[in-house]
């Protein structure tokens, strides 16, 4: 089946032309797809014949809500979507003053193996398609009734490990005839695939890059993030500096505070040294406990923040949303898998 929803406008034009359709059909079909129709029958201004042809040849299989948890504390909603092949992924809707933000997944599972992360425990099953990423934004908006203005690629999966598909998704969700979400309203988070960061830099997109750093020294970082074993922190910062030079965009460094692992003053000092000369911003994240992991939340978040600030580093501490609904990466999918006997 043809994945029509992952097509960009040019590909769709060519596809419809081959079906002997007039040029104006392209925009019509594109708009319907990006408005979140659940079947070709809803495309009421197309001929019955064309709808039948599309049904026969193309995949249009929006996700269904498998589970939905609404936080009583702050209105955060966590969706567990069931995809057409039975796999499940998570999307989180967060309500901030500056707008509604949706956190989407880029893969079913993850193969990066970070020690603190629930998404990677059972490995990677497959990449998502661009349409499946777009659907998370579209159907979260439709189901919740909340107009989405911001997107973060911080859900399950490593977006730069699904590079071409993610680039295609960005183009789709950014399209004026589609959801029209500006690049400056999109953040992409990576565990640090340096070659891919370099490739992204060359595209000069105006999105915000978040780098999941979590430790400033190779010994600690390699212990908790296997991706570090082959490249190292020095090389990662090289790519980050290059990214800033190419795009002019400040990088945001994610740092989950883990008790006795990455929360010492000397690590704050080293982190500050790495950041010298490149505008960046550190986001300290209180660790979310994952049952299967021995890692515990740090009790030194404020002290670590102070120490970084004493070196002139800009630091924020992430506010916890949806604390009552398993609203951190991979935890809801994990729960579902355990209940179904997958380990």
Which residues are the active-site residues?
90, 329
CB of 103 to ligand SAH, least distance (A): 8
Provide the 10 A C-beta neighbour count for residue 236: 23
Window 141 to 170, contacts with ligand SAH (CB under 6 A): 154, 158
Contacting residues for 255 by C-beta, under 8 A, at least 6 apart: 213, 214, 262, 271, 282, 283, 284, 285
**Quick one: which of 288, 300, 305, 313 contacts ligand SAH (CB under 6 A)?**
288
Q: How far is Cα 108 from Cα 123, in angstroms, rounded to an integer?
A: 9
Which one, 254 or 263, has the nearer CB to ligand SAH?
254
The nearest distance, CB 136 to ligand SAH, in angstroms, is: 14
Min dist. Cβ of residue 324 to ligand SAH (A)? 16
CB of 214 to ligand SAH, least distance (A): 6
Q: Please report, for residues 9, 100, 151, 275, 286, the alpha-carbon distance to residue 173 in angstroms, rounded to integers and kept in the order given.
A: 12, 15, 10, 32, 31
User: Does the footprint of ligand SAH cover residue 287 (CB under 6 A)?
Assistant: yes
Kindly tell me which residue out of 256, 284, 313, 327 binds ligand SAH, with binding defined by CB under 6 A: 256
CA neighbours within 13 Å on the CB side: how many for 54?
Answer: 28
Distance CA 119, CA 111 (A): 9
C-alpha–C-alpha distance, residues 89 and 83, integer Å: 8
Among 43, 108, 191, 325, binds ligand SAH (CB under 6 A): 191
Alpha-carbon gap, residue 101 to 90, rounded angstroms: 14
CB of residue 154 to ligand SAH, shortest distance in Å: 4
State the CB neighbour count (10 A cutoff) for residue 91: 24
Query: Which span sits near ligand SAH by CB under 6 A: 39-47, 168-176, 200-208, 283-291?
Result: 283-291
Residues from 53 through 72 that contact ligand SAH (CB under 6 A): none
Q: Pattern of binders to ligand SAH over 99-138, x per CB under 6 A?
A: ---------------x-xx---------------------
| 263 touches ligand SAH (CB under 6 A) | no
Q: What's the CA gap between 311 and 203, in Å, rounded?
A: 32
Size of the site for ligand SAH (CB under 6 A): 17
Rounded distance, CA 333 to CA 156, Å?
9
Q: Which is nearer to ligand SAH, 29 or 287 (CB)?
A: 287
Convert 199-223 to b/e letters by CB count within 10 Å (16 or more is b): ebbeeebebbbbbbbbbbbbebbbe
Give the residues lining the site for ligand SAH (CB under 6 A): 114, 116-117, 154, 158, 189-191, 212, 254, 256, 285, 287-288, 290, 328-329
């Amino acid at each position: 089946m043809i994945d029509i929803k992952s097509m960009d406008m040019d590909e769709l034009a060519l596809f419809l032309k081959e079906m002997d359709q007039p040029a104006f059909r392209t925009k019509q079909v594109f708009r319907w797809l990006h408005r979140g129709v659940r079947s070709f029958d809803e495309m009421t201004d197309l001929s019955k014949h064309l709808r039948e042809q599309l049904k026969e040849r193309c995949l249009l299989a929006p996700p269904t809500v498998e589970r939905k948890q609404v936080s009583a504390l702050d209105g955060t909603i966590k969706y567990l979507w069931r995809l057409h092949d039975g796999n499940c992924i998570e999307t989180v809707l967060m309500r901030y003053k500056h707008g509604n933000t949706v956190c989407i997944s880029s893969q079913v599972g993850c193969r990066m193996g970070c020690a603190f992360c629930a998404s990677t425990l059972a490995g990677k099953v497959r990449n998502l398609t661009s349409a499946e990423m777009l659907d998370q934004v579209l159907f979260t908006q439709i189901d919740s009734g909340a107009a989405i203005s911001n997107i973060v690629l911080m859900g399950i999966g490593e977006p730069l490990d699904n590079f071409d598909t993610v680039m295609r998704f960005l183009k789709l969700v950014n399209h004026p005839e589609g959801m029209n979400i500006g690049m400056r309203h999109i953040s992409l988070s990576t565990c640090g695939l340096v070659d891919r960061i370099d490739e992204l830099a060359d595209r000069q997109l105006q999105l915000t890059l978040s780098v999941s750093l979590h430790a400033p020294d190779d010994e600690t970082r390699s212990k908790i993030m296997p991706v570090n074993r082959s490249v190292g922190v020095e090389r990662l910062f090289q790519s980050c500096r290059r990214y800033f030079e190419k795009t002019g965009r400040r990088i945001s460094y994610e740092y989950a505070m883990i008790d006795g692992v990455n929360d010492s003053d000397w690590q704050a000092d080293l982190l500050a040294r790495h950041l010298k000369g490149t505008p960046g911003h550190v986001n300290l994240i209180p660790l979310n406990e994952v049952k299967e992991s021995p890692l515990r939340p740090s009790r030194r978040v404020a002290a670590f923040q102070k120490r970084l600030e004493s070196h002139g580093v800009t630091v924020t501490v992430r506010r916890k949303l949806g604390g009552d609904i398993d609203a951190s990466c991979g935890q809801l999918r994990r729960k579902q898998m355990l209940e179904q006997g997958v380990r």
